[in-house]
Amino acid sequence: MITVIPAIDLIGGECVRLTQGDYARKTVYYKDPADAARRYADNGFHRLHLVDLDGAKAAAPATANLRVLERIATATGMDIQYGGGVKSADSLRTVFDAGASRAICGSIAVRSPELFEEWLRSFGPKRLILGADLREGKVATQGWLESSTLSAEELIERFLSAGLCQVICTDISKDGMLCGPSFDLYPALQERFPQVDITVSGGISSLDDLQKLDALQLRSVVVGKALYEGRITLNSLTQWLQNA
């Protein structure tokens, strides 16, 4: 059964969503993101996807968003995967100390692959998730503001020997668009890298999308805007997960 991971994106300590990663196209859903996290925990979700959008553009996680991480971890005890601004060993430790179970690393893996390789070996691959955010087939970095020449396959291949076992892959063109995910992209990646858990991210618009991804034997999926906009209700989602 596919694991559904609710998403909370943070700017200035608030729960927001962007459209296609555009910081100028921002909607605030919760002034206090802990309210959203408690709703998810109360409905039986054990894992949370928390993204520091301020940190993604900066050199380190934002203080206001780290405080949110601390409050959510304390209030819910959820398995939190945290991304955005994790670009040094100090920031990685800070994120773990604040309550994250796993850290998502994207820009650092592209810009300093030897360092990310070292982290995989020293912190362990169960605690580190490679973030492969794609724009027109190439990996984007720095909060999606810059592009590289690497494909997702090339980036994943780079770290297999270091034990990489978790990747979250976001199709930027679909993120926040409620248009359905890239149903061709993810099964192909999962088939090519069976030893790696590929998490689907971007474009989820309905319960039908989740059911189709489950039928394709994908292992996990991040759901954000569809929950906030009511395209998927927590009641219908929890009922499906319980009855599947």
pLDDT digits (tens, 9 = 90+) for 24-73: 888 999 999 999 999 999 999 999 999 999 998 888 999 999 999 999 99
Does residue 14 surpass a pLDDT of 70? yes
196-204: average pLDDT: 96
111-131: average pLDDT: 97
Residue pair 80/72 in contact by the 8 Å Cβ criterion:
yes
Q: 134: pLDDT confidence band, cut at 50, 70 and 90?
A: very high
pLDDT in tens, 158-197: 999 999 999 999 988 877 778 899 999 999 999 999 999 9
Question: Which CATH superfamily, name and number, covers 3-243?
Answer: Aldolase class I (3.20.20.70)
**Among all residues, which ones are annotated catalytic?**
9, 133
pLDDT value at residue 237: 96
pTM equals: 0.94
Token pair 């304390």 in the structure block, residue? 74
Q: Which of 3-17, 44-58, 87-101, 169-183 has the lowest mean pLDDT?
A: 169-183
d(CA 82, CA 212): 27
Does residue 143 surpass a pLDDT of 70? no
**Mean pLDDT, the chain, whole residue set:** 94
Q: 137: pLDDT confidence band, cut at 50, 70 and 90?
A: confident
pLDDT value at residue 61: 96
pLDDT value at residue 23: 85
131-159: average pLDDT: 88
Burial readout 53-86 (b: 16 or more C-beta within 10 A, e: otherwise)? bbbbbbebbbeebbebbebbbeebebebbbbbbb
